[in-house]
Chains A and B, each alone.
Chain A
Amino acid sequence: MSIDTRNGTRSGTRRTKGLAKAALRGLGLALVSLPLSALCFTLTLLSIALIPLGIGIVTTPYVLTRARTYANWRRVLAAEWGGVRIPPAYRPLPKDANPWERTFGMLSDPATRRELWWLLVDMTAGVVTALLPAALLLYPLEGFALAAGLWRVMPDPYWYGFVPVGDQASALGAGALALGLLFLAHFVTPSVLNAHYRLTRAVLSPSQGELSERVRVLTETRRDAVDTSAAELRRIERDLHDGAQARLVAMGMDLGTIEALLDKDPEQAKELIARTRRSSVEALSELRELVHGIHPPVLAERGLGDAVRALALRLPVATEVNVELPGRAEAPVESAAYFAVSEVLTNAVKHAGADRIWVDLHHAEGHLRVSVTDNGKGGAVIGAGSGLTGVERRLGTFDGVLAVSSPAGGPTMVTMEIPCELS
């Protein structure tokens, strides 16, 4: 029993302390956020308005970055004080983007729009919810002061809440109301401040729909990637088992036979040696093809540009390759892009009946862009068991996209885009 009482008292003290803390924090937040949010909001709008004059191109990235820093600071406060986590979701910008790309890259980010909206909400509803805890604490104090005699200096009638204060009796009534309010504040203050943080989260964090769409896409592409790589492994295993491995076993057997025949029948042994040598050559070429199917050597040695050039040289159709890549992408991206191009080229040769193909590879705005155009008869579609579905899946793993323009009668243009950095 005694323990319970002590606990009760302690939690009561803690609660009172928490109340004061919440009120102070809320007051501080309101005092700081009102001017800062207003400043950020005005500067951002001003800077955007100045874009047509050219000045905005330079200032906007700077202002937006400051606004982000401010928003991030508020995220930290929400997490530390309110336990409300607001994940930042800014789109990455290319490292060496020029001011133009920076400005429009940042402006087209949904997070920027959200942030502007948040600044507006923050300096109105946000400030009110931040001030409430302090108000809930200070207003009762005024009531007590009135009851203690402050009512004498106040003009008559002075309204405290819904109580008109004119004499000591009504002042005591105000004191009672103040006591009631304080009692109420005791319970609601923490949740009021929490409401402020939650308001921040509601406006600032990416919408649920956006996130669940992202999750859906990721789940799908991950499953595709796992499926494809499992199928690939099975193919490699089968090829090795039926091809090179079997040949090597046969060679070992032949060598044993040769050993036995060497003295008895040198002629036949010689014949077997020749056969074994042929087998070893065949085993080698099978292995080479297998390696080519997994990771083409030119791709490893020279990168995507030359690998596609080498690919074009092997095609039976005249193919023009245009490469503008200032560096190399990461190996998995290169590989995906290579096999995608390879598949598209194979399609063009097999089905389009084209006699000229143009391949264009370049990197811009953080994306690797590949277009394959042919002058064939057109009519290519994604889906319906075409190779293009496989290409789409391959690219999907890297958030890449595929677009096909192929009217009946041609020409066909396949465009692929993979977000990636070059090194």
Chain B
Amino acid sequence: MRVVLAEDLFLLRDGLVRLLRAHDFEIVAAVESGPELARALAESEPDVAVVDVRLPPTHTDEGLQCALEARRRRPGLPVLVLSQHVEQLYARELLADGSGAVGYLLKDRVFDAEQFVDAVRRVAGGGTAMDPQVIQQLLTRRSGDDRPLARLTPREREVLELMAQGRSNAAIAGRLVVTERAIAKHTANIFAKLGLEVSDDDNRRVLAVLAYLDQGR
């Protein structure tokens, strides 16, 4: 799998390159600034781009803007954005075009190499990987003033949280150490309580969840 990597801190870039190589990814470009990233994304056709939000020369959200721009030119280009902090605002912008294949994770997640690599693979495969922190913010925000969420059982909330992060039923089952059938039952209940259409597609599932959480603002 071919990866374009953008990260301005040498130590982190170096570590990410080594981590991804160790998991059999091919690094086609590892760049350190916005313009270099734009060039790399235009020239090589990566399977996935792993991008830091804050990049030189502006040291603002140059990385995010580059990624969004690249996705405008090549819709559905898988992009995983890493950041020192996560903001719903940015998550929304990434999810806005509705074509999936996006991820938005806290940089800390690379501490758990397996989970991180899993997220990269999921995004490259057209799925989503939203940081648990973003999802938690969304859930706590909406739970205060919304009936349907309050009707969920604690287990269902757990499942919803993992689902909104972009995990498949199989992954959720593995995570919660239950059978896949139990998860399927939970998800059906959740969809019914939230009034969402049932779908087999992982990616649409997340978008539906996020759209629900997003509504009424």
Contact = CB atoms under 8 A, between A and B. Distances in A.
A301 B84 contact: no
A292 B85 contact: yes
A124 interface: no
B84 A302 contact: no
Contacts of A298: 85, 87, 89
B90 to A, nearest CB: 8
Interface string A248-269: 0000000000000000000000
A316 B54 CA distance: 28
A152 to B, nearest CB: 92
B108 A318 contact: no
- What secondary structure prevails in chain A residues at the interface with B? helix
Interface in B123-163: 137, 140-141, 144-145
Contacts of B137: 313-314
Given A301-B61, A302-B60, A313 B144 contact: no
B216 interface: yes
13 contacts: A281-B108, A292-B85, A297-B84, A297-B85, A297-B87, A301-B60, A301-B61, A302-B89, A316-B141, A316-B144, A318-B145, A318-B216, A318-B217
A313 B60 contact: no
A318 B215 CA distance: 11
Interface string B176-217: 000000000000000000000000000000000000000011
Contacts of A297: 54, 84-85, 87
A280 to B, nearest CB: 7
A407 to B, nearest CB: 25
B31 to A, nearest CB: 19
A291 B217 CA distance: 28
B88 interface: yes
The 3 A-B pairs with the shortest beta carbon distances in the complex, nearest first, are A301-B61, A313-B88, A301-B60
A362 interface: no
Interface in A286-336: 288, 291-292, 297-298, 300-302, 306, 309-310, 313-318
A285 interface: yes
A310 B216 contact: no
A285 B61 CA distance: 20
Interface residues on A, range: 20 to 34
A297 to B, nearest CB: 5
B61 A302 contact: yes
A300 B87 CA distance: 13
A177 to B, nearest CB: 82
B111 interface: yes
B53 interface: yes
Contacts of B140: 316
Among the interface residues A285, A288, A309, A313, which one has the most CB atoms of the partner chain B within 10 A? A313
Given A288-B85, A301-B61, A313-B87, 12 more contacts: A281-B111, A284-B108, A297-B85, A302-B61, A310-B88, A313-B89, A314-B141, A316-B141, A317-B144, A317-B145, A318-B145, A318-B216
B141 A313 contact: yes
B111 A280 contact: yes
A355 B141 contact: no
Interface in B83-100: 84-85, 87-89
A275 interface: no
Nearest to A298: B87
A306 B53 CA distance: 15
A309 B60 contact: no
Contact of B53 (A277, A301, A318, A355): A301
A318 B84 CA distance: 26
B53 to A, nearest CB: 7
A314 B217 CA distance: 12
